[in-house]
Amino acid sequence: MNLTISGHHLEVTPALREYVLTKLDRVTRHFDQVVDVNVLLSVEKLKEKERRQKAEVTLHVKGKDIFVENSHEDLYAAIDQLMDRLDRQVCRHKEMLQDQSRRFPKRPDATAS
């Protein structure tokens, strides 16, 4: 699995990197066929006193890209909510793959007889 964590208008500290990695472990535990993960953490300044923290993830699995983004006042809360949404989408994708394999079973080899 290739993992890229980058920041936009913020420095990705080792603590942030470790936090994202621990949250991603839950997703990869449910579905281990993840090829690429791109995480973008950013800070948007809307007004002088308002700041919005934003987290985005693009997860590439075989045959599909899953994109999730979330904004919050606190970056750690944004990451938590983002990983919850990503986990639900990955589980839904896994269930869909399992339903397809049940509906369309593989044909047995003709050479095996």
Q: Which residue has the higher pLDDT, 109 or 72?
A: 72
Q: In sequence order, what are the beta bridge partners of 6?
A: 40
Is residue 50 over pLDDT 70? no
Q: What share of the chain is helix, strand, coil (3-state, %, to 5)?
A: 45, 35, 20
Q: How many domains does the chain have?
A: 1
The CATH number that applies at residue 46 is 3.30.160.100
Report if residue 75 sits inside a domain: yes
Q: Is residue 18 part of a domain?
A: yes
Q: How far apart are alpha carbons 68 and 80 in whole angstroms?
A: 12
pLDDT-derived band at 112, boundaries 50, 70, 90:
low
Please give the model's pTM, rounded to 2 decimal places: 0.81
Asked whether residue 15 is assigned to any structural domain, the reply reads: yes
Residue ranges making up the domain that contains 96: 2-104
Residue 33 lies in a domain: yes
Residue 111 domain-assigned? no
* Residue 94 lies inside a defined structural domain of this protein: yes
Q: d(Cα 16, Cα 24) in Å, to the nearest integer?
A: 12
DSSP 3-state of 82: helix
- 108 backbone dihedrals φ, ψ, rounded to 5°: -70, 150
* Position 113 in a domain: no
Which segments of the chain does DSSP mark as H helices, in order?
14-30, 75-103
Is the residue at 38 inside a domain?
yes
> Whole-angstrom Cα distance, residue 75 to residue 106?
45
Residue 39 tokens read as 């995480």
How confident is the model at residue 88, as a pLDDT?
94
